[in-house]
C-alpha cells in the first residue's frame, strides 16, 4: 500500500519520460485489494507488486496509445491476456510505459510524447522499443515491467539500461491484447532487476490462451528459482556474434561473462550459425510486411484520431494515416507494402521466409552441440539520443544479435554483464532451444549469484 | 532495384499514406538503400527450401461453435471518431 | 453470321448457418440492430486475434464431399489486403493457396441433357460488414454485424455455355447447400450470392474471348437476364469489330442492362500473404470420414432413389425433392400409406397449393403426415368424396384440426350404409312411379334422373360409387 504510493510519487517526479499514462486510481484500488488479500493470508509472490506495462499492451479502461498520435485517445474495452493474469495474481499496474511508436524502433525516440531517457545518462537512449519499461525498472519507478519483443525490443533496452529482460519462446505468452507489430515475431516479455524477478513475472503471464491461435497448449512447470548448476552445461559461442561491428568494450564484458560461466563449470564450445548474417535482411522484410497489414486497421473509421473526412473517403484514409504515423512507422509500412506487392512477393517476402527456414535449421544444428548460445545483446552500449536518427539502415543493423531469436521463435534473455568505456551497461544474451526458457533463466540466476553487475544502480 | 518516384507513389497509394514532397524524396532514397541491402538475400541458395510462416508447430487451434455475448453497442462504438444515429459514419463510399 | 459459344464461370458466396462467427463468438443472427452482434475481434480493434470456428471447416468438408472435391490436408489462411470502411482490419482473412476443397464437379441437367460442371475450388473466408448509404447526405453508415460471418466461396470452372446452364448450376448448388443444412440459400437476403464471369468465342474455337465480371444479381431471374444481356452485348461488340473491355459490371434489374462500375483506376493489388495469426488446419482422414458419415442423402441421390423405390415419375421425384423437408414429408406419408403415386399427387397438387397460398413452409404446415394420411384413408374408404376432401384439407391447413373432426362438424360424411341408401331410394321410387315404370320398360337412361334425386334428397352425401348399383337393383326388383 505504502510501497505503491512511493512508486507513484517517484513516477510523478520522473524526468526520464518513462510513462505515457499513470493509473493512480486503479493502482490504489489494486494496492488496497492486495493489502486485504495479504491480511487474509493469501500468499502470492506477485500480490501487491507494482508493475509497469508497455503501452502497446491493452488495459481495460486505461488509454493504450502505442505512443502514437493515431491512438492517442484510444481506450480499450478489454484487457490483454497478460494484463488479466497480472490482475488475477494481485499485481498492481502503475501505468503504461513509453515506447517507440508501434514498437518500431530501438531507441524510444519515435514516441509521440517524446523520447525516454536512459537513467544511467539522461543524454542517452534507453534503447527500445520497450525503453520506457527498461528505464522505469532501472530507475526504480516500478518493481518490474512488461515489454514486447519483435526483434529485440525487450533485450536491447534491458541491455542498455542494465536490467534483465526475457523474450520467451514464441507461443508461450498469449499475444491477445498485445497491439500487433509483426505477428509471427511478437512476444511479450518480462523485465526486472534480476533473473529471479523476471522468472516470477514470466511464470505469471505465460500459459495457454484459447484466444491466441499461436499460443502453445502445453503444461508449464514453475520455473525453478534455485539457479542452474553449470557443470556439464555446454555454452555455444558463435563466431558470428563477435565479428565486425562489435564494439571492443562490449566484447570485453561479454567475453568476461562467458569466462565466468566457464569458471562455474560450463563447457564453452564454438558453434556455427552460417545464415545469421542474413538475419537483418530477413527481419526487415518479414516484420514490415506483417506490420503493413497489421497497421491497416488504423484507418480512422472505428477508433483513433481521424483527419480529412470533409473530403472523400480516400483522402480521409490518407490524411488520417499521414497525420497519425511518424516517419519510422510510415517507412516500414512502405517497405512492407512494397515487399508484398504484385511482382515482388517472391523476391522479397517468400525469399526472406525461406532464408528464415535456413536460420531456424542453423539453430537446430547448433543446439545439438550446446545447451545455451551466448553472445552480446547489442553491438554497442547506449548512444546519444540524437545520434543516428537520420540513418535508418545503421539503426536496423544494431538489431543483428537479437533478431535471430525472433525469427526462430527461441527464448532469449539479456542480463547485465559489465560496463562499457563510457560507464554504460553491457548486456549478455543467452539463447536456448524452444521451450527451454527455464535453462537460460536458471543460468542467469546462477550468473547473478556470482556477479554484482545487476546490483549496480544508476 | 531502382526505386522510382512513381513506384513510391504507387506504394504510398496502396498503403493509404499521403506523402509530402520532402517525404517522397526521403523515402525514395531510404527505400533504395534498404532494398539494396536486402539484395544480400539473393546470394543464398533457397532452392527447395520451404518458407517459414510460423515458428511453432501448433496446428488446429479451433474453437467450438458457441456464441458468447457480444459487447454492448456503446462499447463497440466507444472509440468511434464520428457517430450519427448510433452508427459510425464515413464520407460516402462510391460504389 | 458467325456463331458464338458463351463461356460462363460462377463464383458463389454462401453464408454459413453456424451459430457464431468464423473467428469470434459473436452471433451470426440476421436482422439485428446495427453493431449489436460485434466484439473487439470482429470490429478489428487493436491487439485482438482470430480463432477459427471448427464448424466452418466441418461445413467446408461436407460441401467438398458433396461436390466430389479433393480436400487439402494442410489449410492455411491468408490475408487479402485492401481498404474499405466495412472491412474492419484492413484485410479479409480468406484462403489463397491450398483452398480447403479443389477439383470437384457438379452434375446438372438442362432440357433433359446432362452436363458435368467443374468446381475449381471451395474456400473458407470471413464476410465484411455492410455500408449503408445516406439518401441525402454524402455519408455512409457502417453496420459491423455481418463482419466476420463465415462464408464458403465456391468457384466453378468456366464450364457453362448458356444462361440456362448457369441457372441450373446455381439451383443445384443451392439445393445441395440447403440439403447439407449449411446455408439457408436465401438470395434476397444475400446468404447465397453469385458473381459471374462471361466471355464468348467463335464456335469451335479454343481461344477464350475477353471476359467481363457481373455482380448484383440477387435472383435466378436476374442471373439469367444479366447473362443473356451480357452475352448479346459481347457478340454485338465482336461483330462490329470492336474490343471488349475487361471490367466489372453491375446488373441493373430495373433497366435490364449491365453497367460499368466506374472502374477504380488503380488495379487491385491485394498483397496476399499467409496470416501469421492463424495456424495451419490439418484435415486428416478421420475428420473427412467423420463428416462423410453424417453427410445426408444429396438431392440427386434422393431423386434417383425416389424413382426406383417408389416407382414415381421423374417429374414427381424432382418436385418432391426440391427441399429435404418436403421429401421427408413425402416419405413419412408413404410409410403410413403405401400408395406412392396417390401420395405424390396429393402433395404436388393440394399440399404445394396450400403452401403457395401462404401457409408457409412444409415444416410449419399444420397438416402433419399422419393427418394427411387419415384424410386419404377416409377418402379411399368412401367416407367423403374427392371434392369434399380438398375442402377438408384446406380447413385442416388453416385450423390444424384433424380430418374426421372437420367432416363431422361440416356433415361431409358420405352415406355408404346400404340399408340407409336403400331406404332413400325406396322413397324416391315411390315418389316417381311413372319414371320407375319407364325404366322398367327399357328406358334405362332414366337412371341418371334417379341418381340426381337421391343425391338431392341426401344433400349430396350419398356415396355415388354405391348409389348406381342400389338404384338399379331396386328398380329391377
CB proximity C315 to B under 8 Å:
no
pTM: 0.92
Q: Tell me if C271 and A345 make a contact (CB, 8 A cut-off).
A: yes
Specify the higher pLDDT residue, C446 or A6: A6
Nearest by CB to B70, which of C37, C57, C142? Answer: C37
CB proximity A184 to B under 8 Å:
yes
Q: Tell me if A212 and C276 make a contact (CB, 8 A cut-off).
A: no
Extended strands (E) in A58-122: 92-97
In the predicted model, what is the mean pLDDT of chain C?
Answer: 91
With a CB cutoff of 8 Å and minimum separation 6, the contacts of C150 are C15, C16, C18, C21, C22, C28, C53, C56, C59, C124, C125, C126, C127
- Residues of A whose CB is below 8 A from B48: none
Quick one: how far is CA A432 from the chain centroid? 17
Q: Tell me if A180 and C47 make a contact (CB, 8 A cut-off).
A: yes
Asked if C140 and B90 touch (Cβ cutoff 8 Å), the reply is: yes
CB proximity A171 to C under 8 Å:
no
Strand partners of residue A52:
A95, A145
Q: Tell me if C49 and A175 make a contact (CB, 8 A cut-off).
A: yes
Best of A299, A314, A357 to mutate (most C CBs within 10 Å, chain C): A299
- Residues of A whose CB is below 8 A from B41: 278, 281-282, 285, 351-352, 355
State the pLDDT at residue C233: 95
Inter-chain Cβ pairs, chain A and chain C, closer than 8 A: 104
Q: Which tens digit of pLDDT belongs to each residue from A156-215? A: 999 999 999 999 999 999 999 999 999 999 999 999 999 999 999 999 999 999 999 999
Asked if C96 and C120 touch (Cβ cutoff 8 Å), the reply is: no
Q: Tell me if C276 and A296 make a contact (CB, 8 A cut-off).
A: no
Query: Any idea how long chain B is?
Result: 95
What does the alpha-carbon distance between residue A165 and residue A192 come to, in Å, rounded to a whole number?
6
What does the alpha-carbon distance between residue A432 and residue B25 come to, in Å, rounded to a whole number?
43
Region A9-21: mean pLDDT is 96
In the predicted model, what is the mean pLDDT of chain A?
Answer: 96
Region A11-26: mean pLDDT is 96
Region A326-345: mean pLDDT is 95
State the pLDDT at residue C280: 96
State the pLDDT at residue A389: 66
State the pLDDT at residue C296: 94
In C311-411, which residue ranges form alpha helices assigned H by DSSP?
A: 314-320, 324-336, 340-346, 352-354, 369-380, 386-399, 403-410
Element at C195 (helix H, strand E): strand C192-202
Under DSSP, the state recorded for C414 is: -
Q: Tell me if C140 and B91 make a contact (CB, 8 A cut-off).
A: yes
Nearest-by-CA chain C residue for A59: C47
ipTM associated with this complex = 0.96
State the pLDDT at residue C265: 45
Q: Coil, helix or strand for C150?
A: strand
CB proximity A242 to B under 8 Å:
no
Is residue A311 part of the annotated active site? The answer reads no
Q: Tell me if A80 and C52 make a contact (CB, 8 A cut-off).
A: no
Q: Tell me if A211 and C45 make a contact (CB, 8 A cut-off).
A: no
CB proximity C132 to A under 8 Å:
no
Q: How many Cβ atoms are within 10 Å of C360's Cβ, its own excluded?
A: 11
Neighbours of chain B (3+ CB pairs under 8 A): A, C
Nearest-by-CA chain C residue for A78: C40
Question: Which residue is listed with cell 516500414?
Answer: A332
Least-confidence region, from A15-29, C173-187, C270-284, C424-438: C424-438
Q: Tell me if B87 and C76 make a contact (CB, 8 A cut-off).
A: no
Query: Angle A437-450/A195-205 helices, nearest 10 degrees?
Result: 160
Is residue A394 part of the annotated active site? The answer reads no
What does the alpha-carbon distance between residue A188 and residue A85 come to, in Å, rounded to a whole number?
13
Q: Coil, helix or strand for C156?
A: strand
What does the alpha-carbon distance between residue A258 and residue C321 come to, in Å, rounded to a whole number?
78
Pick the catalytic residue: A153, A215, A292, A414? A153
- Residues of C whose CB is below 8 A from B81: none
Q: Tell me if C266 and B61 make a contact (CB, 8 A cut-off).
A: no
Which cell numbers in the block locate residue B75?
462499447
State the pLDDT at residue A50: 97
Asked if A99 and A55 touch (Cβ cutoff 8 Å), the reply is: yes
Nearest by CB to A302, which of C44, C273, C277? Answer: C44
Compute the Cα dihedral for A338, A342, A346, A350 and give only its sign. Answer: positive
Under DSSP, the state recorded for B95 is: -
Asked if A432 and A172 touch (Cβ cutoff 8 Å), the reply is: no
State the pLDDT at residue C433: 87
Q: Which tens digit of pLDDT belongs to each residue from A379-421? A: 999 999 988 767 888 888 899 999 999 999 999 999 999 999 9
CB proximity A408 to B under 8 Å:
yes
CB proximity B84 to A under 8 Å:
no
Model confidence band, residue C441 (pLDDT cutoffs 50, 70, 90): confident
Q: Tell me if B52 and A360 make a contact (CB, 8 A cut-off).
A: yes
Q: Tell me if A318 and B75 make a contact (CB, 8 A cut-off).
A: no
Checking if the pLDDT of C326 tops 90, the result is: yes
State the pLDDT at residue C206: 83
Characterize C111-142 residue by residue with b for buried, 16 or more Cβ atoms within 10 angstroms of its Cβ, and e for exposed: eeeebebbbbbbbbbbbbbbbbeeeeeebbbb
Q: Which tens digit of pLDDT belongs to each residue from C227-242? A: 999 999 999 999 999 9
CB proximity C118 to A under 8 Å:
no
Checking if the pLDDT of A47 tops 70, the result is: yes
CB contacts under 8 A, A 203-222 vs C, are 210-214
CB proximity B80 to A under 8 Å:
yes
Under DSSP, the state recorded for B42 is: G
Q: Which tens digit of pLDDT belongs to each residue from C264-318? A: 545 679 999 999 999 999 999 999 999 999 999 999 999 999 999 999 999 999 9
Which cell numbers in the block locate residue A338?
512494397
CB proximity A157 to B under 8 Å:
no
Which cell numbers in the block locate residue A80?
490483454
What does the alpha-carbon distance between residue A222 and residue C455 come to, in Å, rounded to a whole number?
96
Nearest-by-CA chain A residue for C144: A302
What does the alpha-carbon distance between residue B33 and residue C175 come to, in Å, rounded to a whole number?
58
Neighbours of chain A (3+ CB pairs under 8 A): B, C
Region C325-347: mean pLDDT is 95
In chain B the first and final C-alpha atoms are separated, in Å, by 36
CB proximity C282 to B under 8 Å:
yes
Model confidence band, residue C457 (pLDDT cutoffs 50, 70, 90): confident
Asked if C254 and B34 touch (Cβ cutoff 8 Å), the reply is: no
- Residue C93's nearest CA partner among C85, C82, C102 is C82
Q: Tell me if A75 and B78 make a contact (CB, 8 A cut-off).
A: yes
Asked if A92 and A4 touch (Cβ cutoff 8 Å), the reply is: yes
Nearest by CB to A302, which of C43, C140, C271? Answer: C43
Best of A184, A278, A330 to mutate (most B CBs within 10 Å, chain B): A330
Element at C260 (helix H, strand E): strand C257-260
Quick one: how far is CA A10 from the chain centroid? 23
Nearest by CB to A177, which of C47, C88, C276? Answer: C47
Pick the catalytic residue: A21, A54, A68, A96? A54
In the predicted model, what is the mean pLDDT of chain B?
Answer: 92
Dihedrals φ, ψ of A412, to 5°?
Answer: -155, 145
State the pLDDT at residue A458: 93
Is residue A68 part of the annotated active site? The answer reads no
Q: Tell me if A334 and B92 make a contact (CB, 8 A cut-off).
A: no
State the pLDDT at residue A102: 98
CB proximity A182 to B under 8 Å:
no
Which cell numbers in the block locate residue C348?
404436388
Q: What percent of chain A has pLDDT over 90?
A: 93
Q: Tell me if A302 and C45 make a contact (CB, 8 A cut-off).
A: yes
What does the alpha-carbon distance between residue C131 and residue C126 come to, in Å, rounded to a whole number?
16
CB proximity C138 to B under 8 Å:
yes
State the pLDDT at residue C359: 62
Nearest by CB to B70, which of C39, C83, C140? Answer: C39
Q: Which tens digit of pLDDT belongs to each residue from C76-126? A: 999 999 999 999 999 999 999 999 999 999 999 998 899 999 999 999 999
Under DSSP, the state recorded for B83 is: E
Checking if the pLDDT of C430 tops 50, the result is: yes
Checking if the pLDDT of C352 tops 80, the result is: yes
CB proximity C269 to A under 8 Å:
yes
CB proximity A313 to C under 8 Å:
yes
Amino acid at each position: 500500500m505504502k510501497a505503491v504510493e512511493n512508486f507513484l510519487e517517484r513516477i510523478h517526479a520522473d524526468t526520464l519520460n518513462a510513462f505515457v499514462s499513470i493509473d493512480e486510481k486503479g493502482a490504489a484500488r489494486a494496492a488496497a485489494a492486495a493489502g486485504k488479500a495479504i491480511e487474509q493470508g493469501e500468499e502470492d509472490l506477485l500480490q501487491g507488486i507494482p508493475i509497469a506495462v508497455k503501452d502497446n499492451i491493452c488495459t481495460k479502461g486505461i488509454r493504450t496509445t502505442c505512443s502514437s498520435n493515431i491512438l492517442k485517445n484510444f481506450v480499450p474495452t478489454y484487457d490483454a491476456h497478460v494484463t488479466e493474469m497480472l490482475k488475477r495474481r494481485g499485481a498492481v499496474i502503475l501505468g503504461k510505459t513509453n515506447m517507440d511508436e508501434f514498437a518500431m524502433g530501438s531507441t524510444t525516440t519515435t514516441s509521440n510524447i517524446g523520447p525516454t531517457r536512459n537513467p544511467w545518462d539522461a543524454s542517452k537512449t534507453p534503447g527500445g522499443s520497450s525503453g520506457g519499461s527498461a528505464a522505469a525498472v532501472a530507475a526504480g519507478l516500478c518493481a518490474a515491467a512488461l515489454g514486447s519483443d519483435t526483434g529485440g525490443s525487450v533485450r536491447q533496452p534491458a541491455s542498455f539500461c542494465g536490467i534483465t529482460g526475457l523474450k520467451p519462446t514464441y507461443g508461450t505468452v498469449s499475444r491477445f491484447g498485445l497491439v500487433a507489430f509483426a505477428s509471427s515475431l511478437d512476444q511479450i516479455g518480462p523485465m526486472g532487476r534480476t533473473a529471479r524477478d523476471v522468472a516470477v513475472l514470466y511464470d505469471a503471464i505465460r500459459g495457454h490462451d484459447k484466444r491466441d491461435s499461436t499460443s502453445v497448449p502445453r503444461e508449464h512447470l514453475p520455473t525453478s528459482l534455485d539457479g542452474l548448476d553449470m557443470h556439464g552445461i555446454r555454452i555455444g559461442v558463435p563466431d558470428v556474434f563477435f565479428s565486425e561491428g562489435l564494439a571492443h568494450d562490449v566484447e570485453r564484458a561479454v567475453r568476461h561473462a562467458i569466462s565466468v560461466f566457464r569458471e562455474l563449470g560450463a563447457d564453452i564450445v564454438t558453434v556455427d550459425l552460417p545464415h545469421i548474417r542474413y538475419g537483418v535482411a530477413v527481419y526487415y522484410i518479414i516484420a514490415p510486411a506483417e506490420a503493413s497489414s497489421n497497421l491497416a486497421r488504423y484507418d480512422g473509421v472505428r477508433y483513433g484520431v481521424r483527419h480529412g473526412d470533409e473530403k472523400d473517403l480516400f483522402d480521409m484514409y490518407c490524411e488520417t494515416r499521414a497525420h497519425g504515423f511518424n516517419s519510422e512507422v510510415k517507412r516500414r509500412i512502405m517497405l512492407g507494402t512494397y515487399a508484398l506487392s504484385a511482382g515482388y512477393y517472391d523476391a522479397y517476402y517468400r525469399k526472406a521466409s525461406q532464408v528464415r527456414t535456413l536460420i531456424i535449421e542453423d539453430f537446430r544444428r547448433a543446439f545439438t552441440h550446446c545447451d545455451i548460445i551466448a553472445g552480446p545483446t547489442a553491438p554497442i552500449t547506449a548512444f546519444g539520443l540524437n545520434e543516428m536518427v537520420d540513418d535508418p539502415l545503421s539503426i536496423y543493423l544494431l538489431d543483428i544479435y537479437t533478431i535471430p531469436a525472433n525469427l526462430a521463435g527461441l527464448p532469449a534473455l539479456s542480463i547485465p554483464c559489465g560496463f562499457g568505456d563510457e560507464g554504460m551497461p553491457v548486456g549478455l544474451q543467452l539463447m536456448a532451444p524452444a521451450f527451454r526458457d527455464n535453462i537460460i533463466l536458471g543460468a542467469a540466476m546462477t550468473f547473478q549469484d556470482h556477479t554484482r553487475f545487476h546490483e549496480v544502480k544508476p | 532495384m531502382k526505386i522510382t518516384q512513381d513506384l513510391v507513389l504507387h506504394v504510398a497509394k496502396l498503403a493509404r499514406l499521403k506523402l509530402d514532397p520532402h517525404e517522397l524524396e526521403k523515402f525514395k532514397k531510404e527505400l533504395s538503400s534498404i532494398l539494396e541491402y536486402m539484395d544480400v538475400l539473393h546470394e543464398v541458395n533457397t532452392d527447395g527450401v520451404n518458407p517459414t510462416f510460423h515458428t511453432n508447430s501448433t496446428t488446429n487451434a479451433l474453437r467450438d461453435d458457441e456464441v458468447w455475448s457480444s459487447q454492448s453497442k456503446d462499447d463497440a462504438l466507444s472509440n468511434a471518431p464520428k457517430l450519427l444515429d448510433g452508427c459510425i459514419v464515413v464520407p460516402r463510399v462510391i460504389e | 453470321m458467325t456463331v458464338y459459344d458463351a463461356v460462363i464461370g460462377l463464383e458463389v458466396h454462401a453464408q454459413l448457418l453456424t451459430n457464431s462467427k468464423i473467428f469470434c463468438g459473436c452471433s451470426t443472427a440476421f436482422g439485428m440492430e446495427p453493431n449489436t452482434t460485434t466484439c473487439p475481434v470482429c470490429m478489428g480493434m487493436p491487439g485482438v486475434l482470430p480463432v477459427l470456428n471448427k464448424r466452418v471447416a466441418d461445413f467446408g468438408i461436407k460441401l467438398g464431399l458433396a461436390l466430389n472435391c479433393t480436400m487439402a490436408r494442410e489449410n492455411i489462411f491468408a490475408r487479402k489486403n485492401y481498404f474499405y470502411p466495412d472491412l474492419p482490419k484492413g484485410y479479409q482473412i480468406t484462403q489463397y493457396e491450398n483452398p480447403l476443397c479443389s477439383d470437384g464437379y457438379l452434375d446438372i441437367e438442362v432440357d433433359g441433357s446432362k452436363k458435368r460442371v467443374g468446381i475449381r475450388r471451395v474456400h473458407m473466408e470471413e464476410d465484411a460488414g455492410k455500408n449503408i448509404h445516406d439518401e441525402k447526405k454524402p455519408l455512409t453508415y457502417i453496420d459491423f454485424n455481418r463482419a466476420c460471418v463465415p462464408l464458403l466461396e465456391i468457384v466453378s470452372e468456366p464450364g457453362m455455355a448458356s444462361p440456362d446452364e448457369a441457372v441450373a448450376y446455381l439451383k443445384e448448388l443451392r439445393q445441395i447447400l440447403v440439403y447439407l443444412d449449411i446455408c439457408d440459400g436465401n438470395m434476397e437476403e444475400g446468404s447465397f450470392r453469385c458473381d459471374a464471369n462471361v466471355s464468348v468465342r467463335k464456335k469451335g474455337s479454343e481461344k477464350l474471348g475477353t471476359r467481363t465480371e457481373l455482380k448484383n444479381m440477387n435472383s435466378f431471374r436476374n442471373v439469367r437476364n444479366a447473362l443473356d444481356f451480357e452475352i448479346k452485348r459481347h457478340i454485338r461488340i465482336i461483330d462490329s469489330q470492336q474490343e471488349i473491355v475487361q471490367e466489372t459490371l453491375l446488373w441493373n434489374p430495373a433497366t435490364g442492362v449491365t453497367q460499368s462500375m466506374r472502374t477504380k483506376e488503380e488495379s487491385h493489388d491485394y498483397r496476399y500473404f499467409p496470416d501469421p495469426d492463424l495456424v495451419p488446419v490439418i484435415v486428416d482422414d478421420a475428420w473427412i470420414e467423420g463428416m462423410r458419415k453424417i453427410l445426408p442423402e444429396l438431392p440427386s441421390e434422393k431423386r434417383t432413389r425416389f424413382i426406383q423405390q417408389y416407382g414415381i415419375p421423374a417429374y414427381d421425384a424432382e418436385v418432391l425433392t426440391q427441399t429435404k423437408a418436403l421429401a421427408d414429408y413425402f416419405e413419412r406419408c408413404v410409410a403410413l400409406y403405401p400408395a406412392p403415386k396417390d401420395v405424390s399427387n396429393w402433395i404436388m397438387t393440394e399440399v404445394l397449393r396450400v403452401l403457395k397460398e401462404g401457409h408457409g413452409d412444409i415444416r410449419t404446415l399444420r397438416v402433419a403426415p399422419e393427418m394427411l394420411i387419415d384424410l386419404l384413408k377416409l377418402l379411399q374408404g368412401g367416407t367423403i368424396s374427392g371434392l369434399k376432401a380438398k375442402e377438408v384439407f384446406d380447413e385442416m391447413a388453416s385450423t390444424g384440426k384433424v380430418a374426421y373432426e372437420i367432416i363431422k362438424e361440416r356433415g361431409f360424411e358420405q352415406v355408404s350404409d346400404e340399408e340407409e341408401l336403400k331406404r332413400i331410394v325406396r322413397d324416391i321410387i315411390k315418389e316417381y312411379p311413372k319414371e320407375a315404370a319407364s325404366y322398367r320398360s327399357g328406358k334405362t337412361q332414366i337412371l341418371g334422373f334417379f341418381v340426381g334425386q337421391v343425391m338431392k334428397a341426401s344433400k349430396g352425401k350419398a356415396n355415388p360409387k354405391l348409389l348406381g348399383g342400389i338404384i338399379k337393383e331396386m328398380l329391377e326388383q
